[in-house]
Chains A and B, each alone.
Chain A
Amino acid sequence: MSSEGEVILLSLRVAALAMVGLVPLSLAIAWLLVRRNPKGRWLIEAIVSMPLALPPVVIGFGLLWLFSPTGPLGKAIDGVFGGDLVFTWFAASLASAIVALPLVVRTFVIALESVDARLELASRSLGAGPWQTFAYVTIPIAARGLMAGVLIGFVRALSEFGATIVVAGNIPGQTQTLPLAIFTKIQTGDDSVAIRLVIISVVLAMVSLLIHNRLVGRLASGRSR
Chain B
Amino acid sequence: MISLDLAISRGDFQLALKATLDGGISAIFGPSGSGKSTTLACIAGLINPDSGSIKLDEESLFDSAARMIVPPEKRSVGLVFQDGALFPHLDVRGNIEFGAKFGTVSDRKVPPDQLMMLLDIHDLAERNIADLSGGERQRVALARSLAAGPRVLLLDEPVASLDARLRTTVLGYLKEIHRELGIPMVYVSHNVSEVIYLAEQVIVLDRGAVVAEGAPRSVLLGQGIGQPANFEDVENYLSGTLIERGSGGRSALVKVGEHEFVAPSAEHIAADDVVVTLRASDVIVATELPRAISARNVISATCVDLTESEERSFATFDVGEPLVVELTSRSITELGLAIGVSAHLVFKTTSLTLTPRGVLHSQVKISSPLPCCRYRR
Contacts and interface: CB of A to CB of B under 8 A. Distances in A.
A122 B73 contact: no
Contacts of B89: 137, 140-141, 143
A188 interface: no
Given A125-B78, A127-B73, A119 B85 contact: yes
A126 B72 CA distance: 8
B148 A116 contact: no
A132 B375 CA distance: 15
A121 interface: yes
A118 B102 contact: no
Contact of B79 (A122, A129, A143, A225): A122
B351 interface: no
A119 B87 CA distance: 7
Interface in A135-151: 136-137, 140-141, 143
Contact of B73 (A116, A124, A225): A124
Contacts of B72: 121, 124-125
B71 A124 contact: yes
Interface string A109-128: 00000001011011111111
B85 A122 contact: yes
Contacts of A126: 73, 78, 98-99, 102-103, 144-145, 148
A129 B99 CA distance: 12
B229 to A, nearest CB: 35
B102 A128 contact: yes
* A contact residues, range: 10 to 19
A140 B91 CA distance: 13
Interface residues of B, number: 25
Contacts of A124: 45-46, 71-73
B113 to A, nearest CB: 18
A124 B73 CA distance: 5
A15 B265 CA distance: 71
A121 B44 CA distance: 9
A178 to B, nearest CB: 36
A127 B102 contact: yes
A53 B204 CA distance: 57
Interface string B70-114: 011101111101000101110000000011001110000000000
A11 B202 CA distance: 68
Nearest to B104: A127
A140 B81 CA distance: 21
Contacts of A123: 87, 98, 102
A219 B81 CA distance: 25
Nearest to A116: B85
A191 B76 CA distance: 69
A136 B85 CA distance: 15
7 contacts: A119-B85, A121-B44, A125-B78, A126-B98, A126-B148, A127-B103, A137-B89
The 4 closest A-B pairs by CB, nearest first: A127-B102, A128-B102, A124-B72, A122-B85
Interface of B: 44-46, 71-73, 75-79, 81, 85, 87-89, 98-99, 102-104, 130, 144-145, 148
